[in-house]
Chain A
């Protein structure tokens, strides 16, 4: 594989950049694979990469219905953080933070990881107490957390509304300085390029139409480009999880919902952090191009439409303007939506299933993008070793039966409530 470096950049400049290798091939599916990963999104591509890199399993195919990186990895608001209170979530995410920090070097691909810090705003004394508790839990798990008072927040984000007579005055906030953002498409492409170079077949425009399971064991899959014999299958299809589970006669604690995001027109640098509103659900950062990147609530009813509806967008942006009034002067550039695999306790599932050779990776709710490297790493481990790593042991499917839920937000099973 051609290394991306400044020397190769200069060298290729002499041939007008017309002789670069393709970043990944377009192979025809083989008849048989050791592992097939269904879903060529961030998690699927990362899983294939770590299967090859960490476990030396390279007879692997990624089967993608559309094109790689065309789903949620290309539709998110690029936020990376590990500001969780529960041990299972905190340790898993912090392991991921470490992979994020090394990712550009590891993949020889600039993912533009920008650890600019995230501030969760608090709007009452009670919320400050809750944040102090969460911050303490984070620090016990070795994650950086700083509780900021009103004046400290004002110093960092002076453009927020600090007037006294507003409905939700800013009391302070909880900051994770090491959190940040990354270029989401680059993450998908970087993983794809490296996985491909280690022998993984990336098969696009190939829909999985059925499974061949006999004697409680995976034998193969049926696709729009022919049948494939396979020993192990990893399901990494986010919002389409229920559609494939139906073909396997499985019912999962997952509902598919639509989440919108939007960007404003580009403006000069104004916001150098990720900020979330504490009295609702709204998050914002500024991209390198200058666009304000914003997101918030689910549309609120089961949806596969991949495009949003106005009432939710209006509601979310109302929160944004309450927090940062200058946003009302900006024009909207683009809005879009992606379909989320909302789990019934708000935490993901990375586990084996009752079918031998079938592995499940789903339930990422609002937080799939930041989990990409840790999810790929632990899912690859689970597939290769046929057991969960201690990092994803808490993300088992059985917890819904035993009651060991990971309900970080305390919302219960109404996934559409935010």
Chain B
């Protein structure tokens, strides 16, 4: 069982959260020309590597806020958590 520290509520069980995927994916800028490749990278293509992974979770059964979690995809060690509008480092 993962224990995730919600930046708003503190340490909580994994059961209270739902997963939201890779947090590094950014939507191409609005009202700008977008290449097919950029759009595919946004919609479909993922790195999904072994090791550190920055990802979105929602504290669904808690404060309902979206948060960012940096987790190791092989060991599940959680290095840090932050609010969704905070950038890494």
Residues of A within 8 A of B (CB): 242-243, 246, 251-256, 300-305, 309-311, 344, 400-401, 413-414, 416
Contact = CB atoms under 8 A, between A and B. Distances in A.
Contacts of B49: 242-243, 246
Contacts of B19: 300-301, 416
28 contacts: A242-B48, A246-B47, A246-B49, A251-B45, A251-B46, A253-B40, A253-B44, A253-B45, A254-B46, A254-B48, A255-B22, A255-B46, A255-B48, A256-B73, A301-B19, A302-B48, A302-B73, A303-B74, A304-B50, A305-B75, A305-B76, A311-B1, A344-B43, A344-B44, A400-B43, A400-B45, A401-B36, A416-B19
A414 B44 CA distance: 10
A360 B68 CA distance: 32
B74 A305 contact: yes
A344 B46 CA distance: 9
Contact of B55 (A254, A302, A414): A302
A413 B55 contact: no
Contacts of A246: 47, 49
B4 to A, nearest CB: 10
A281 B18 CA distance: 17
Contact of A309 (B2, B22, B40, B74): B2
Interface in B38-74: 40-41, 43-50, 53, 55, 71, 73-74
B36 A242 contact: no
Contact of A243 (B14, B15, B50, B76): B50
Given A253-B45, A344-B44, A400-B44, A302 B1 contact: no
A416 B75 contact: no
Contacts of A253: 40, 44-46
Contact of B45 (A252, A304, A416): A252
B28 interface: no
Contacts of A344: 43-44
A401 B75 CA distance: 34
B48 to A, nearest CB: 4
B46 A242 contact: yes
B17 to A, nearest CB: 9
A299 B39 CA distance: 28
Contacts of B1: 309-311
Considering the complex of A and B, which 6 residue pairs feature the smallest CB-CB distances, nearest first? A253-B44, A251-B45, A255-B48, A304-B50, A304-B74, A344-B44
A413 B43 contact: yes
Which of B2, B36, B46: most chain A Cβ within 10 A? B46
Nearest to A309: B1
A377 B75 CA distance: 36
Interface in B8-48: 14-15, 19, 21-22, 36, 40-41, 43-48
A305 B73 CA distance: 7
Contacts of B76: 303, 305, 309
A316 to B, nearest CB: 14
Contacts of A310: 1
A251 B21 contact: no
Nearest to A306: B74
A412 B77 CA distance: 29
Contacts of B2: 309
A225 to B, nearest CB: 22
Nearest to B2: A309
Contacts of B41: 251
Given A256-B73, A311-B1, A414-B21, A302 B45 contact: no
Nearest to A300: B19
Contact of B40 (A301, A302, A401, A416): A401
Which of A242, A301, A309: most chain B Cβ within 10 A? A301
A413 B17 CA distance: 20
Contacts of A309: 1-2, 14, 76
A270 B73 CA distance: 39
